[in-house]
Amino acid sequence: MKSHTVYLSFNTKNRRQLVRITEDVKRIVEESGIREGLCLVSSMHLTASVIVQDDEEGLHQDIWEWLERLAPYREDYEHHRT
């Protein structure tokens, strides 16, 4: 079985930011030469995530509102101290 691994790094400007990686992943798959199989995309950092969704502004706003309700921004989270 063939495998191909590529690591992408992103520098964001905001504490919460959506980064569209669709074209990056598509290019990497095409360049790999692998025509059948699975493509695993995952985050290597505990405060980042990968989600599959439509690239639609209303959905982006819904995500921001959901995240703020789920984990409101605070300076005093224990995670910031470690």
Residue 81 has pLDDT above 80, yes or no: no
Residue-level pLDDT at 71: 82
Residue 8 has pLDDT above 90, yes or no: yes
pTM score, two decimals? 0.77
Distance between CA atoms of residues 59 and 63, nearest Å: 6
Residue 43 contacts residue 50 (beta carbons within 8 Å): yes
Mean pLDDT, rounded, for 13-22: 92
Whole-number average pLDDT of the chain: 91
